[in-house]
Amino acid sequence: MVNPATEELITTVPATSAAGVDAAVRRAAAAQARWAALAPGDRARLLRRFATTVDAHREELAQLEVAEAGHPVGNARWEAGNVRDLLDYAAGGVERLTGQQIPVSGGVNLTFREPLGTVAVIAPWNFPMPVAAWGTAPALAAGNAVLLKPAETTPLTALRLAGLALAAGLPEGLFQVLPGSGAGTGRALVDHPGVAKVVFTGSTATGREVMARCAAQIKAVTLELGGKSPNIVFADADIERAAAAAPGSFLDNTGQDCCARSRILVQRQVYDRFLELLEPAVHAFTCGDPTDPGTAMGPLVSAAQRTRVRGYVPEDAPAAIRGTAPKGKGYWYPATVLEREPADRVAVEEVFGPVAVVLPFTDEADAVRLANATPYGLSGSIWTRDTGRALRLAQSVAAGNLSVNSHASVRYWTPFGGYKHSGLGRELGPGALAAFTETKNVFLDTQDPEHPQEQP
């Protein structure tokens, strides 16, 4: 693992072989049988204890995230707190995971929600802790075992979380972390017949392969993939507020955010004014040492990621706004705002770096057309003072997570997921635990053989 702000080697972590995956699946199956047999109240208590243990180690987890992912320390602290919250939220569902009693003729019909067994969670490097916990917390709460494969570049927080789970009293083998490559450990997990469901977060290209491999075994799969989300600013919006909020929506996490609002669509009559206000706001989003609590933006995660971003936008390409970034060691890349044609590659494809394109639009119909003109459909924001327009737009933009006069997208209380090439299925929210269960239907014939119920 390499610190992306200094390029110093932190440590190395051995990869899990196919035999290692197989052994982990066997340990998980044994632990899962014991876990599912526990009283729901006891499972909930253990998950709450896990949450409390994470909370007690928040600073340690945050520092690991700063070191291996280059996240500003304020963000990293929030991320560790988010893991705690996800565990608490899931723990609250354990004792409420009810089935149904459905009215039928001739007897009583019940449904049960049964755990799937062992779930594989495959996480990316951009939000190593929260994304790992989105799948892990509800899967455990619903009575499953979890095998988590972190991204190659960011396994350290995941490994620490597994240690904290054991310290909190979760059974050995129930939550295991299997570091390794996608082509090796990742594929072995996806293909293993002992894995009942795969929760994958990553690129659309890899998601397509994971889904095809799951299809070969009729295995359940959830895909959280890429995005190219619009930030739509109407002339009737509070333009000052919209401009002040825009930098965070595409620069947070150095733009390595699947929900980044990297296409800023601005109604033509306020276009110049918006750009004028955006410029100082972008410059105020300071890029630098992630260990400094005043830093808003750190480096990109790796040399490979910087090469990818430069492939879209070389640092000397013409830009409407360009921020500053440290020179020297570290995978730095400055905040960049471009004016380009709507069909340009950089305006349609996911860059996954601190780059946004600003595009003018004429009216509502034009805004919707532009917003939907990508293969993605993850998130989006709508800035307007007209509530009717806000709702019309929210219903017309083909994306899973929209916000009005805000850039909030991922919240553990509400469902999250993508339309089109941004994904399949939903995570988080009130249905999170149910997504890790099979529904079993049971009918009990209650008819008295002496007096069978009359058929109509």
Q: Which residues are catalytic?
A: 224, 258
Element containing residue 32 per DSSP (H, E): helix 18-37
Query: From the CB of 123, what's the least distance to ligand NAD, in Å?
Result: 6
Distance CA 49, CA 59 (A): 17
Measuring CA to CA, how many Å separate 393 from each of 23, 241, 333, 389?
Answer: 50, 19, 33, 6
Residue 178: both structure tokens together: 């299997």
Do residues 389 and 364 lie in contact, with contact meaning Cβ atoms separated by under 8 Å? yes
Do residues 228 and 262 lie in contact, with contact meaning Cβ atoms separated by under 8 Å? yes
Query: From the CB of 102, what's the least distance to ligand NAD, in Å?
Result: 34
Residues in 348-367 at the binding interface with ligand NAD, rule: CB under 6 A: 350, 352
Residues in 407-426 at the binding interface with ligand NAD, rule: CB under 6 A: 418, 422-423
By CB under 6 A, residue 131 contacts ligand NAD: yes
Do residues 125 and 75 lie in contact, with contact meaning Cβ atoms separated by under 8 Å? no
Q: Looking at beta carbons only, is 78 or 112 nearer to ligand NAD?
A: 78
Query: From the CB of 376, what's the least distance to ligand NAD, in Å?
Result: 9
Query: From the CB of 374, what's the least distance to ligand NAD, in Å?
Result: 12
By CB under 6 A, residue 202 contacts ligand NAD: yes
By CB under 6 A, residue 400 contacts ligand NAD: no
By CB under 6 A, residue 65 contacts ligand NAD: no
- Site size for ligand NAD (CB under 6 A): 33
Among 203, 286, 291, 396, binds ligand NAD (CB under 6 A): 203
By CB under 6 A, residue 201 contacts ligand NAD: yes
* 375, 381, 385, 388: CA torsion to nearest 10: 50
Angle subtended at Cα 230 by Cα 373 and Cα 223, rounded to the nearest 5 degrees: 80
By CB under 6 A, residue 228 contacts ligand NAD: no
Query: From the CB of 375, what's the least distance to ligand NAD, in Å?
Result: 12
Residues in 241-270 at the binding interface with ligand NAD, rule: CB under 6 A: 258
Among 10, 110, 183, 365, binds ligand NAD (CB under 6 A): 183
Residues shown for the chain: 456
Residue 145: both structure tokens together: 């075992």
Tokens 């082509």 sit at which residue? 183
By CB under 6 A, residue 124 contacts ligand NAD: yes
Radius of gyration of the chain from its Cα atoms, rounded to whole angstroms: 24
What's the half-sphere exposure (Cβ side, CA atoms, 13 Å) at 190? Answer: 26
Q: Which of 318, 320, 375 is nearest to 348 (CA)?
A: 375
Among 48, 49, 187, 310, binds ligand NAD (CB under 6 A): 187
Query: From the CB of 250, what's the least distance to ligand NAD, in Å?
Result: 13
Angle subtended at Cα 372 by Cα 378 and Cα 220, rounded to the nearest 5 degrees: 35
Query: From the CB of 295, what's the least distance to ligand NAD, in Å?
Result: 22
By CB under 6 A, residue 128 contacts ligand NAD: no
Do residues 10 and 3 lie in contact, with contact meaning Cβ atoms separated by under 8 Å? yes
Residue 165: both structure tokens together: 């789970």
Distance CA 29, CA 52 (A): 26
By CB under 6 A, residue 301 contacts ligand NAD: no
Q: Looking at beta carbons only, is 143 or 255 nearer to ligand NAD?
A: 255
DSSP SS3 for 176 = strand
Q: Looking at beta carbons only, is 237 or 346 nearer to ligand NAD?
A: 346
Judged by the rule CB under 6 A, the positions of this chain that interact with ligand NAD are 122-127, 131, 149, 151-152, 181-183, 186-187, 190, 201-203, 206, 209-210, 224-227, 258, 350, 352, 378, 418, 422-423
